[in-house]
Chain A
C-alpha cells in the first residue's frame, strides 16, 4: 500500500450567477483506502490552511443511499465504477500521479449553486406533480395486508431503488430526466395502490419534467449505465407506453378528473 499524489482539475464557481472555470490543485499523501469525498475533505483542509475557499460539494449519508453526492469524475457521473455513488468510490481505483477532472452535474435544469453543488429542485417538482397516491392511507399497514405477487413487488422495488441523485441527467447526452421520472412512475405503476391514478400521474409527471427544461430522450441509455442503483431503461419504455395511453386511451381529457382510463 502506498499513498498517492494526485493532480485535480476542479470546477470553481463562486455562485450561480458568476462565471466558473476549471482550477488545478495538487494533493499529496492520499490513502488508497480513502473515499473520493474524503480525498476532497483532505484537499479542503489544505485549502483552508492556506486561507483559500474550500471546494463546495454535496454529501450526506456517505453510504450510498441518500442521493446527495454527485460529481462528474473524469467524464462519468459518480466516477468510473458501475453501480456506485461518488461517496462509495475509493481512491484505490486511481493510481499515484493520476490527473482527475471533477465537474458538477451539468444540465440547464440543474443550475450550479456553488462549485460542484447543483440545485436538483427540478426533481422535487416532478415528484410533487404526481409521484404519490392521493388516498390517505394512515399509518404503515401490516406486511402483506395487500397481496402483491412477488414479481410485481420486485419490479416496483427495483424502480423504487432510485435515490434521485440525478446521475441519469448528468450522463445523458441530452440532459434528459427520463430515467428518474420513469423510475418514479414505474414504482407506483407496479403496485395496486398506484393503479387508480396511474395515467393521470404519468401525464402530470411528464408535463412537470418538460416544464423544468430537461432535454428529450433519444435512447442512448447512458442513464442506465451511469445509474448507481441500476435502474433499467425498460421503465422508460413503460412510461412511454403509459403516457401514450394517458393521451389516447384515458377518458379524462379534462385536467383534474380521474385518470384511471
Chain B
C-alpha cells in the first residue's frame, strides 16, 4: 500500500483525494436537500421518510460511518493542503492583484472550517438533540418519531434560523468552487462538456442554497405549520 500513501501525499494525488471525497459530500448534500424539501409535503410523508431512514438499521450505520470517514479525510487533507500552500510563499507580495480567481475559491479553507463548525452544531441539534431537547422526543399520531414538529419548532427560533441561513450560504460558497473544481482535478475535461465544467459549481450552489433555505423560510413565513 506504500504506493497509495505516496499517491495521496503527492500534490496531484492530494487534490484528487479532495475531489473524490468532495464529490461524495456534494452527493450527500443533494440527497439531504431533497429529503428536507419533503417538509412541504406535510407531516405524514416527512415523518414517514424519517422513519424509513431510522429503520435502515445496519445500513444506516454503514452510511454514517462512510460519510464520517470521507468528511474527516476531506477536512484533514484540506487543512494540510492549505498549510502547505501558505508555506510555499514565505514572503508575501506587497501588492498582489488577481484577475481570474473568485473570492469563494480563495476562501475555501475559511468557509470549510465554518461549515465544519456548523455541521458539529447541526448534529448536536437535530441528530443528538442537545440544543433543543424539549422538541426532540415528540411522537406523531402514528407513534413515529415526530421529525416534522422538531423541524418547525426549531426554526421558529430566530437565532437558529439566522445561524442556519449564514451557514448554508457559506456552504454554498464552498461548493460554488468545489462542485465544479473536482472535474479539473480528476482530469475530466473536454470541449464537449466544458459548459458543465465551467458552470457546475455556481449552478449547483444556487440550486442547493434555494433548496436548503426553502423549508426553514417556509417555517418563518408560516407556509409550513405545525
Contact = CB atoms under 8 A, between A and B. Distances in A.
Interface of A: 9, 11, 20, 22, 72, 74-76, 101, 103, 106-109, 112, 173-176, 178, 206-207, 209-210, 213-222, 224-226, 233-234, 236-244, 247, 253
6 contacts: A106-B93, A174-B88, A214-B88, A222-B100, A225-B100, A240-B184
Contacts, number: 130
Given A214-B88, A237-B188, A74 B97 contact: yes
B187 A244 contact: yes
Interface stretch (B13-21, B46-54, B124-132, B134-142): B13-21
A199 to B, nearest CB: 13
A244 B186 contact: yes
B10 A210 contact: yes
Contacts of A214: 11, 88
A242 to B, nearest CB: 7
A240 B95 CA distance: 31
Contacts of B184: 219, 233, 236-237, 240
B198 to A, nearest CB: 11
A240 B81 contact: no
A239 B12 contact: yes
**Interface on chain A toward B: helix, strand, loop, or mixed SS?**
mixed
A103 B88 contact: no
A218 B89 CA distance: 15
The 4 closest A-B pairs by CB, nearest first: A241-B187, A75-B97, A215-B88, A220-B101
Given A215-B84, A215-B85, A253-B3, A221 B101 contact: yes
A209 B13 CA distance: 13
Interface of B: 3, 7, 10-16, 81, 84-85, 87-101, 105-106, 108, 177, 181, 183-189
Nearest to A100: B95
Contact of A216 (B7, B15, B100): B15
A108 B87 CA distance: 8
Given A103-B93, A233-B184, 8 more contacts: A9-B94, A75-B95, A112-B91, A173-B98, A173-B101, A218-B105, A220-B101, A240-B12
A244 B7 CA distance: 9
Contacts of A243: 10, 12-13
A247 B13 contact: yes
Which of B3, B16, B89, B101 gathers most chain A CB within 10 Å? Answer: B89
A181 to B, nearest CB: 9
Given A175-B88, A175-B89, A220 B186 contact: no
B89 A216 contact: no
B101 to A, nearest CB: 4
A178 to B, nearest CB: 7
A173 to B, nearest CB: 6
A234 B192 CA distance: 13
A216 B108 CA distance: 14
A210 B84 CA distance: 11
A215 B29 CA distance: 29
B95 A207 contact: no
Contacts of B85: 173-176, 215-216, 218
Nearest to B78: A218
A225 B179 CA distance: 22
B97 A240 contact: no
A109 B177 CA distance: 27
Contacts of B12: 206, 239-240, 243-244
Contacts of A234: 189
Contacts of B95: 72, 74-75, 101, 103
A211 to B, nearest CB: 10
B188 to A, nearest CB: 7
Nearest to B105: A220
A222 B98 CA distance: 7
Which of B10, B183, B188 gathers most chain A CB within 10 Å? Answer: B10
A217 B92 contact: no
A222 B97 CA distance: 10
Given A207-B10, A240-B185, A243-B12, A219 B105 contact: yes
Given A175-B85, A215-B88, A218-B108, A237 B187 contact: yes
Contacts of B177: 219
Contact of B181 (A215, A216, A218): A218
Contacts of B98: 173, 220, 222
A19 to B, nearest CB: 10
